[in-house]
Amino acid sequence: MENKKNGIYYTPPALADYLVKPFENIMGEKILDPSYGEGSLLLAAGRILKNIYRIYETHLFGCDTQPVNGLLRHLPKANLREIDFFDFPSDNMFQTILMNPPYIRHSIQDLSKIYKYRINYPQLKILNKKADLWAFFLVKAVSHLYVGGNIGAILPWAFLQADYAKPLRKWLSEIFLEINVVALNSKYFEKADERVVILWLKGYGSKCISIKTASSKSIESTIIFTKLSFQNWISDRVSYFGVNNIDKVLKRCKSEFGFTELSDHAEVKIGIVTGAVDYFIMTKQKAMEIGFKRNQLVPILTRPNEFTNYIKTGKKELKFLISLNVNDHLNHKNYIERGIENNIHLRAHSVLREHWYIVKLNEVPDAFFQYRIKKTPFLLPNHDKVQSTNSIHRVYFRDVTEIEKKWIIVSILSIPSQLSVETNSKTYGRGILKIEPKSLKNTLVIRRNDPIIISIYEKIIALLSVDKKEDAMELASEFISKEIGIPEDLMRLAKEELSKFQALRLTKDTILI
What SS3 string covers 232-300? HHCCCCCCCCCHHHHHHHHHHHHHHHCCEEHHHCEEEECCECCCCHHHHEECHHHHHHHCCCHHHEEEE
What pLDDT, on a 0 to 100 scale, did the predictor assign at position 306? 96
Residues 6+ away with beta carbon under 8 Å from 100: 9, 10, 11, 35, 37, 41, 153, 154
Query: Which residue range is the domain that position 75 belongs to?
Result: 2-241
Cα 306 → chain centroid: 23
Instruction: With residue 159 as reference, give the H or E element that holds it.
Output: helix 158-161
Are both 227 and 248 inside the same structural domain? no
Q: With respect to residue 39, please indicate whether it lies within any of the assigned structural domains.
A: yes
Residue 90 has pLDDT above 50, yes or no: yes
Are both 74 and 134 inside the same structural domain? yes
Are both 17 and 148 inside the same structural domain? yes
Judged by DSSP in three states, 131 sits in coil
Instruction: Read off the pLDDT of residues 412-429 as tens digits, 9 standing for 90 and up.
Output: 999 999 999 998 888 776
CA distance 135 to 131: 6
- Tell me which residue of 198, 206, 54 sits closest to 145, measured CA to CA: 206
The phi, psi pair for 404, rounded to 5°, reads -65, -35
Are both 147 and 260 inside the same structural domain? no
The stretch 82-87 carries a mean pLDDT of 92
What pLDDT, on a 0 to 100 scale, did the predictor assign at position 280? 96
What pLDDT, on a 0 to 100 scale, did the predictor assign at position 192? 54
Are both 94 and 149 inside the same structural domain? yes
Residue 510 has pLDDT above 70, yes or no: no
Count structural domains, the chain: 2
Residue 240 has pLDDT above 60, yes or no: no
What pLDDT, on a 0 to 100 scale, did the predictor assign at position 353? 92
Contact 196, 184 (CB under 8 A): yes
Judged by DSSP in three states, 6 sits in coil
CA-derived radius of gyration, the chain: 26
- Tell me which residue of 458, 472, 304 sits closest to 394, measured CA to CA: 304
Cα 22 → chain centroid: 28
What pLDDT, on a 0 to 100 scale, did the predictor assign at position 3? 46
Neighbours of 251 (CB within 10 A): 11
Are both 116 and 250 inside the same structural domain? no
Name the average pLDDT for the chain: 89
CA–CA distances in Å: residue 211 to residues 174, 177, 201: 11, 9, 10
CA distance 457 to 334: 48
Judged by DSSP in three states, 444 sits in strand
Instruction: Return the percentage of the chain with pLDDT > 70, whole number.
Output: 92
Judged by DSSP in three states, 200 sits in strand
Are both 214 and 84 inside the same structural domain? yes
Contact 413, 460 (CB under 8 A): yes
Instruction: Read off the pLDDT of residues 21-67 as tens digits, 9 standing for 90 and up.
Output: 999 888 888 999 999 988 899 999 988 887 776 676 678 999 998 88
* Alpha helix segments (H runs only) across 400-487: 402-411, 415-424, 437-441, 453-465, 469-484
Q: With respect to residue 332, please indicate whether it lies within any of the assigned structural domains.
A: no
Of the two residues 20 and 9, the one the predictor is more confident about is 20
The pTM for the full model equals 0.79
Contact 269, 396 (CB under 8 A): yes
Q: 3-state SS of the chain: helix, strand, coil percent to 5?
A: 45, 20, 35
CA distance 35 to 41: 10
Of the two residues 430 and 439, the one the predictor is more confident about is 439
What pLDDT, on a 0 to 100 scale, did the predictor assign at position 194? 65
Q: With respect to residue 278, please indicate whether it lies within any of the assigned structural domains.
A: no
Q: With respect to residue 477, please indicate whether it lies within any of the assigned structural domains.
A: yes
Are both 45 and 173 inside the same structural domain? yes
What pLDDT, on a 0 to 100 scale, did the predictor assign at position 241? 54
Contact 39, 72 (CB under 8 A): yes
Q: What's the CATH code of the domain at 194? A: 3.40.50.150
Label residues 321-352 b or e (16+ Cβ within 10 Å = b). bbbbeeebeeebeebbeebeeeebbebeebee
* Alpha helix segments (H runs only) across 51-154: 111-120, 133-142
Instruction: Read off the pLDDT of residues 94-142 as tens digits, 9 standing for 90 and up.
Output: 999 999 998 877 777 777 788 788 888 888 889 988 899 999 999 999 9
Are both 111 and 256 inside the same structural domain? no
Q: With respect to residue 296, please indicate whether it lies within any of the assigned structural domains.
A: no
Q: With respect to residue 165, please indicate whether it lies within any of the assigned structural domains.
A: yes
The stretch 308-315 carries a mean pLDDT of 95
Q: With respect to residue 183, please indicate whether it lies within any of the assigned structural domains.
A: yes
CA-angle at 90, arms to 88 and 91, nearest 5°: 115
CA distance 224 to 500: 14
The stretch 290-297 carries a mean pLDDT of 93
Residue 11 has pLDDT above 90, yes or no: no
Are both 129 and 256 inside the same structural domain? no
Are both 111 and 257 inside the same structural domain? no
pLDDT category of residue 507 using cuts at 50, 70 and 90:
low
Are both 231 and 252 inside the same structural domain? no
Q: With respect to residue 352, please indicate whether it lies within any of the assigned structural domains.
A: no
